[in-house]
Every structure is written in structure tokens, then in C-alpha cells.
A = this chain, B = another copy of it.
Amino acid sequence: MNSFYVIGVDLGGTKIYTALAADDGRVLSEIKLPTEAGRGLQGVIDRIVHSVEQVRENVAVPPQKVLALALGAPGPLDTAGGVIHFAPNLRWNNVPIRQILEERLSLPVLLDNDANLAALGEHVFGAGRGCGNMVYITVSTGVGGGLILDGKLYRGSSDGAGEIGHMTVLPDGPVCSCGNRGCLEAMASGTAIARAAAELVASGGGRKILAAAGGDPGRINAAAVAAAAAGGDPEAAAIIDRAAGYLGIGVASILNLLNPAMVVLGGGVMEIGEPVWKGVRREVQARALQAARSRARLVPAELGGRAGVMGAIALALQEIADGNCLPPAAAEHRNGR
């Protein structure tokens, strides 16, 4: 018999992933729902509440035995205040999500950045178990990450740490979604790979890539480039190798700055496999100082799409262990409401 339970929620632009875990982190019940952000704030909140009720009912856990819920959400956000400042995918601005959910669920709610929680998930339950200094990088549509330093999640001074995707790796490179030039995300994300391929096709090259996209230039994506490369197309291989090399440049800079014992790499682009790892290792070998390089293992993420929700569970368990999860009534007092 478990003495208590926690709930983790990973709130993304496309889906809400909710899991209920025992006090040892074992997941007993989980559910994924589409976010349908277009229905508005109230619709998304209703879905989160519904998913929480569902995971509790699935295993018949009495509500009072669930001691905390942790929510991972896209940022920027304020973990201490429990407010999501800005989430473009959800079209949210300054949503006091903690207060809203605590009132609806009568449960202490913790808020954190989704990439930070994915890092924590890999640290507690995945590839980074037992590793005190670990950098987590996810390379998919964008490039994100989180830092575990001296055994703890490092959030920075305003919950903004870990924006690995916006380190500059090529000062005069292409414009990034953030408006800057040559960010790691603009050079190595799936979006960057697709853009490079689309430009090649537009200039008359990339026939194998176009074929892999079913002949439709509008359907060129990183998966099509990877498929063409796997089929032996040198143009596709060069695009992937270049992106992987910039990822390696970013990793090397992080090794020199932070001297971690492990870099955990996940996300869809890493699933392309050896062609990406090869490019990463080449640049790390060339650019990381020997002391930093010899210490750091580069390893694949283990939790895949579950990293965020597992990190939320880890956070809830940690905060309970640290005595930081007050019941909402006490939390109201704490917040001076």
C-alpha cells in the first residue's frame, strides 16, 4: 500500500499528458488528451481538470491521498508565483495557472518549465540517474534543454536558464524564431534541417529529398531528409551532417562552460541516429577542452515523450520530501491572498 500519490501534467501546444504516480515514482495511471488550445483558456483548464479526475478514478485513489500536482508548461513563466507569462502555442498571457488549478482541484500545484522538467525526468528516472551535473538537450522542431547542476535543477535568476537553443553558434547565420541570427535552434533543429532542404530543392537540387517528401515541396521535413540520407543521398546526408556539426559546436561550448559529467540528447532529430551522433562527436572532439571532454559522456535520452511528465512527477515528489507542498488553504495564507 502506498502512503501517498502525486500527479504530473505535461501541458503542450498539442497535447496534455497526465500521469498519477505512487510515492516511489511508479506510474499507476496515465492519459493523453489533445490540448485544443483553440477552445480558449477555460477549455484547456477543463481538460486538465478532467484528465486529473480520470487518472485518479482509473486506480480508485482517494483524492486526499494525492498530495501534489506538478505542471510543466511552455515558458516564459514564474515558478515561484505560479504564473505562465507567455505561451504562444496556447495563446496565453500572464495566466495564474497555479491559483486556478489549486482552486479547481483543492490540491497543491507546482509549476515549472517543460524543458526543465524533461531534464529533471531524465535525471531522476532516465539516462541521467545518479549524475550530479547533467545537461539535457532536446532537438526536435526547436532546440530546448535544462540543466542539473550540483545535483539540482538549475533555473537561473528568473526561471529562464537552459535556453540552449538560443546560444549563438554562427553569428551571421540564418534568422531564428527568436529574431536573432545563428542560434543553435536556427542551425540544428528539425525546422532548420527542413528549411535547408527546401532551399536546396527551390534552387533545383535535392531530387531524392523531394521524392522522399512524396514529390510535394510543401511536405519536406526533417524526416524526409533523414529518409533520403538513409537511402544514400549525399545531398541529404550533407544537410544532416551540417546540422549535427552545429549541434556539436553548441555541446562543446557547454562542456567547456559547465564541465558536466553527462549530456543527454533527445528529441526527434536525435532519432535520426548515427549520422547525427557522428557530427556531434566530431565537433566535440575538435572543440571541447580535453579535461571537459574526457569527463563527459554523451548519451541518448531514455524517456522520449514521457520525459516531461516524469519530471513533473519527480518535482512533486522532491517538493513533498522537502516539505514545500502545503495544502491550498495554507498556500493561500503563504501568498497573502
Report A's interface with B, CB cutoff 8 A. Answer: 75-76, 85, 132-133, 147, 149-150, 152, 154-164, 166-171, 178, 180-181, 246, 249, 252-254, 256-261, 286-287, 289, 291-292, 294-296
Contacts and interface: CB of A to CB of B under 8 A. Distances in A.
B132 A157 contact: yes
Contact of A249 (B168, B258, B286): B168
Contact of A253 (B149, B160, B253): B253
B167 A253 contact: yes
A158 B291 contact: yes
Given A157-B295, A158-B291, A164-B256, 11 more contacts: A85-B291, A132-B157, A149-B149, A150-B152, A159-B259, A168-B252, A168-B287, A171-B246, A171-B249, A178-B289, A180-B252
Contacts of A132: 157
A80 to B, nearest CB: 14
14 contacts: A154-B258, A156-B292, A157-B295, A158-B292, A158-B295, A160-B289, A161-B259, A162-B257, A163-B256, A164-B257, A166-B287, A171-B246, A171-B249, A253-B253
A207 to B, nearest CB: 29
A170 B167 contact: no
A256 B181 CA distance: 14
Give the oligomeric copy count.
2
A60 B256 CA distance: 44
A219 to B, nearest CB: 31
A165 to B, nearest CB: 8
Nearest to A170: B171
A158 to B, nearest CB: 4
A289 B161 CA distance: 11
Contacts of A181: 286-287
Contact of A167 (B150, B159, B256, B286): B256
